[in-house]
Amino acid sequence: MIKLPIYMDHQSTTPLDSRVLSAMKPYLEGMFGNASSRHHRFGVEAREAVETAREQTRKYIGARHAKEVVWTSGATESNNLAIQGVSHLYRKRGNHIITSVIEHKSVLDTCSFLEGEGFRITYLPVTQEGIIRLQDLEQAITDQTILISIMHANNEIGTIQPVAEIGEVAKKRNIFFHCDASQSAGKIPIDVQTMGIDLLSISAHKMYGPKGAGALYVRSENPRVRLQPLIFGGGQEEAWRSGTLNVPGIAGFAKAFEIAVAEMADESERLLRLRTQLFEWFRKYIPEVHCNGSLQYRLPGNLNVSFAYVEGEALLELINQTIAVSSGSACSQTTLEPSYVLKALGVQGDLAHTSIRFGLGRFNTAEEVMFTAHYVAEAVAKLRESSALYKETQKKLTSSTTV
Ligand code: PMP
């Protein structure tokens, strides 16, 4: 029995895993202490939870020291702290930042804010596959470049950047490398040493943890990175991020990461199988389906497809009561502009308007995938029936093939 609606929007957010909820509960109930209160049991047990979570997180990203993990409210804050923090502190060294056109808005808008302060930003283009070219990166570097900020996996199309190679380039040229790993942490392996990452953003709610909990890894040696804080106050987190720590959120973050890392191999294999099956069915039942971005270098759970002649928004309206998915990016759905990520791939206007993101996750089943394939195929057929353009094109196609 399938329970409706089906949730298939896991790049937007993920449900809380019940094991994570159990790990958080004690800190929402009896153990409510402030982790900065050092003189009584309540504070000490809260501090213990925070430091255990820090040590776990250190281990999962291959960091050397637990203190390199700074707790934040999520990846938006981590990205802002990394980019503004480095830019403001190292301004004397240079004023040039390199990023890509397909970054999340929390990176792009931070960069555009810094442009207003006199920084120069290079936005690297991507190939049709949704990947940056290393030679573009190398060519963009000047003696003023202080920071490269490139995401690990994209939130709309799931494409994975050559992070280790970017880290190598950054290291060779003595430039800090920040990587937004919100979509990849707990899904594909991350190692800040072998990948040459100096700053790494993570968010708990993308890996079956709670919303409002995140982390920023800040390398403390080879090279040592320092930051200008965004928030001033009680001096928590090495004074880089003042504010009373979200102890239940941090405990949930670490538990979510622990589960994701332990189950990564099995889960990604299963999700890849489901995603492959979903795309195969789409191609079988729906003519003119296109996958946006590389299928090879992609998060296992992501499928972003365009159904030609069908407005993404119209399709969403038809299916979203039954299957929860997104068109374009969930974070920029206040506009009906075609997604800037798809535009960057060179997906033409009309086709960019027809894209839907299917984000498969931990609790999706093979039955749900089969149901989705059929349900979407029916909806697409229905919408195409009322599309004059589709009928016109089909007519032309049949007349040209029946000469
Ligand atoms: N970066 C990427 C790639 C994301 O997908 C998101 C979430 N949509 C963020 C940053 C922001 O994360 P948060 O919701 O934790 O602020």
Q: Give the residue numbers of the binding site for [2Fe-2S] cluster.
A: 331
Could you confirm whether 291 is annotated as catalytic? no
**What is the three-state SS of 239-304?**
HCCCCCCCHHHHHHHHHHHHHHHHHHHHHHHHHHHHHHHHHHHHHHHCCCEEECCCCCCECCCEEE
Q: 360 in a domain, yes or no?
A: yes
Number of C-beta neighbours around residue 327 at 10 A: 24
CB 213 within 8 Å of CB 205: yes
- Of 171, 169, 151, 147, give the one whose Cα is nearest residue 160: 151
Q: What is the pLDDT of residues 335-362, one digit of tens each?
A: 567 889 999 999 887 788 889 999 999 9
Looking at the fold, whether 157 and 247 belong to one and the same domain comes out as: yes
Q: What kind and span of H or E run contains 187?
A: none
Indicate whether 320 belongs to any domain: yes
Listed residues 228, 259, 290: the one ending a domain:
259
Within 10 Å of residue 164's Cβ, how many Cβ atoms? 12
The answer to whether residue 332 scores a pLDDT higher than 70 is no
Looking at the structure, tell me whether residues 307 and 242 fall in a common domain.
Answer: no
Q: Give pLDDT, residue 329.
A: 47
DSSP one-letter code for 68: G
Question: Torsion-angle region of residue 387: left (phi > 0), alpha (psi -120 to 50) or beta?
Answer: beta
Residue 225 near residue 197 (C-beta atoms within 8 A): no
Q: Would the pLDDT of 262 be above 50?
A: yes
Residue 351 sits in which domain range?
Answer: 6-12+264-402
Where is average pLDDT lowest: 199-208, 315-324, 381-390? 381-390
390 within domain boundaries: yes
Question: Using a 6 Å cutoff on CB, does residue 155 contact ligand 1?
Answer: yes
Q: Are residues 349 and 218 in the same domain?
A: no
292 and 393 both lie in a single domain? yes
For residue 345, count CB atoms less than 10 angstroms from its CB and return exposed for 0-12, middle for 13-18, buried for 19 or more: buried
Closest CA to 216 of 49, 89, 99, 54: 54
331 pocket-lining for ligand 1 (C-beta < 6 Å): yes
Q: What's the CATH code of the domain at 231?
A: 3.40.640.10
Same domain as 316, residue 230: no
Q: Which residue puts its alpha carbon closest to atom 5 of ligand 1?
A: 155
User: What is the CA(104)–ligand 1 centre distance, in A?
Assistant: 7
Which of 259, 280, 310 is the last residue in one of the domains? 259
Residue 323 is assigned to a structural domain of this protein: yes
Confidence of residue 330 (pLDDT cuts 50, 70, 90): very low
pLDDT reported for residue 401: 56
pLDDT for position 335: 57
Residue 330 CA: which ligand 1 atom is closest?
Answer: 8
List the single range of 161-170, 189-198, 255-264, 394-403 with lowest mean pLDDT: 394-403
Measure the CA angle with vertex 16, ends 14 and 18; round to 5°.
Answer: 145
Q: Which of 259, 294, 319 is the last residue of a domain?
A: 259
Q: Is residue 277 part of a domain?
A: yes
Q: What does the angle CA 146 – CA 147 – CA 150 come to, to the nearest 5 degrees?
A: 160
Beta-sheet pairing, 302-307 with 355-359: antiparallel
Residue bearing tokens 């702290």 = 81
pLDDT of residue 351: 83
Please tell me which residue in 111, 179, 291, 331 is annotated as part of the active site: 331
Mean pLDDT of the chain: 95
One-letter amino acid at 194 equals: T
* Cβ neighbours of residue 382 closer than 8 Å, sequence gap 6 or more: 318
Q: Let me know the angle formed at the C-alpha of 291 by 286 and 295, rounded to the nearest 5 degrees.
A: 130
Element (H, E) at 359: strand 355-359
Query: Per-residue pLDDT averaged across 162-190, rounded?
Result: 98
Lowest mean pLDDT across 138-142, 146-150, 385-389: 385-389
- Report yes or no: 100 and 123 within 8 Å, Cβ to Cβ: yes
How much distance in Å is there from the Cα of 211 to the middle of ligand 1?
11
Instruction: Please tell me whether residues 176 and 275 are part of one structural domain.
Output: no
Write down the pTM of the prediction.
0.96
Grouping H, G, I as helix, E, B as strand and the rest as coil, residue 153 is strand
Query: Which tokens is 142 given?
Result: 């000047």
**Is residue 1 domain-resident?**
no
Ligand 1 mean position, distance from CA 388 (Å)? 38
Say which DSSP state 307 is in.
Answer: E
- Whether 219 maps to a domain, the answer reads yes
Residues 254 and 300 in one domain: no
Domain match, 222 and 281 both? no
CATH of the domain at 361: 3.90.1150.10
- For the chain, what is the domain count? 2
Same domain, 247 and 107: yes
pLDDT tens for residues 71-107? 999 999 999 999 999 999 999 999 999 999 999 999 9
pLDDT at residue 48 is higher than 60:
yes
* Six-digit token string for 96: 């040039």
Question: What distance in Å separates the CA atoms of residue 145 and residue 305, rounded to the nearest whole number?
Answer: 36
Is 89 in the same domain as 144?
yes
pLDDT at 402 over 90: no
Strand partners, 305: 291, 356
CA distance 347 to 367: 31
Would 41 be classed as within a structural domain? yes
Query: Are 271 and 251 within one domain?
Result: no
Lowest average pLDDT, out of 253-257, 352-356, 365-369, goes to 352-356
3-state secondary structure of 94: coil
Specify whether 226 is located in the same domain as 272: no
